[in-house]
C-alpha cells in the first residue's frame, strides 16, 4: 500500500515497487489479485496491465511498457502481470510510477524453462522495495518447485501454454529430467 506521509501538514504518497516471482503454477497471479483486491477495499484506484497475449484475469492489455504510464496515470496502485514478457522499458516505467507515488505490484516468472533469468525480471527484482518468491509443488516428489520444466519439444524461450507443455519441478527432479532427455 502506498504510504501517506505528512510534509508540513500535506499528505504525500510514497510509491513503491513490489515483485512477486516464481515458477508457473506457483500462485503469482493469485497473489497479485489478492493485493489488488485489498487496495480496492481500501478505496484506492487500481488498474492491472498485462502484455497483449490473451487475458486470464481482468486486465488492460498493452503492446508496450510505455502505454502503462499513460493508461495508469489516475491509479494509486498498478498491477503488472506476466512482466517477463514486457520490453526492457518496464523497469524505467516501474521506477517512474513509484517516483510519482504509485504502488506498483509486478508478477512474473523469474526464470525460464532452462533455469535462466527471464526478460526484465532480474532488473525488476533488483529495484524492488519488496520481493515475494512463491513456489509451486514439484509434480514428481512434492518438494517446493524451482522451475517450470518444459515437457514438449522446442527451444524457443517463449512457448505459450500451461498444463500440457510445462510441469513444476524442484531442483533435483529438474536435473534428473534434463538427464532423461539426453
pLDDT value at residue 13: 73
- Which strand (E) or helix (H) includes residue 122? helix 121-127
Residue whose C-alpha is closest to residue 46's, from 86, 1, 113: 1
pLDDT tier for residue 174 given thresholds of 50, 70 and 90: very high
| 142-173 pLDDT, tens digit each | 999 999 999 888 777 766 656 688 999 999 99
pTM (2 d.p.): 0.88
Cell of residue 134, nine digits:
512463491
pLDDT value at residue 125: 98
Cβ atoms within 10 Å of 82's Cβ, excluding its own? 23
| 3-27 pLDDT, tens digit each | 556 566 666 678 999 999 999 999 9
Q: Which of 82, 92, 165, 180 is catalytic?
A: 82
Beta pairing class for 77-80 and 103-109: parallel
SS3 at position 101: coil
pLDDT value at residue 160: 62
Query: Looking at domain 3-135, what is its CATH homologous superfamily?
Result: P-loop containing nucleotide triphosphate hydrolases (3.40.50.300)
Q: Which residues pair with 173 in a beta bridge?
A: none
Is 82 noted as a catalytic residue in this protein?
yes
Asked if pLDDT for residue 116 goes beyond 50, the answer is yes
Cβ distance 119 to 157 under 8 Å? no
Amino acid at each position: 500500500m502506498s504510504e501517506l506521509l505528512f510534509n508540513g501538514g500535506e499528505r504525500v504518497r510514497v510509491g513503491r515497487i513490489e515483485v512477486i516471482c516464481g515458477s508457473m503454477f506457483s500462485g503469482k497471479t493469485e497473489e497479485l489479485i489478492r493485493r489488488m483486491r485489498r487496495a480496492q477495499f481500501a478505496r484506492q484506484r487500481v488498474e492491472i496491465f498485462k502484455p497483449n497475449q490473451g487475458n486470464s484475469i481482468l486486465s488492460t492489455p498493452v503492446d508496450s511498457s510505455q502505454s502503462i504510464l499513460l493508461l495508469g496515470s489516475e491509479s494509486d496502485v498498478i498491477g503488472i502481470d506476466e512482466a517477463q514478457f514486457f520490453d526492457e522499458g518496464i523497469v524505467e516505467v516501474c521506477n517512474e510510477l513509484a517516483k510519482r507515488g504509485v504502488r506498483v505490484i509486478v508478477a512474473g516468472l523469474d526464470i525460464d524453462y532452462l533455469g535462466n533469468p527471464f526478460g526484465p525480471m532480474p532488473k525488476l527484482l533488483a529495484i524492488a522495495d519488496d520481493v515475494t518468491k512463491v513456489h509451486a509443488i514439484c509434480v514428481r516428489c512434492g518438494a517446493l518447485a524451482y522451475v517450470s520444466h518444459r515437457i514438449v519439444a522446442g527451444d524457443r524461450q517463449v512457448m505459450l501454454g500451461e498444463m500440457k507443455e510445462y510441469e513444476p519441478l524442484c531442483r533435483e527432479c529438474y536435473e534428473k529430467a534434463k538427464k532423461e532427455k539426453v
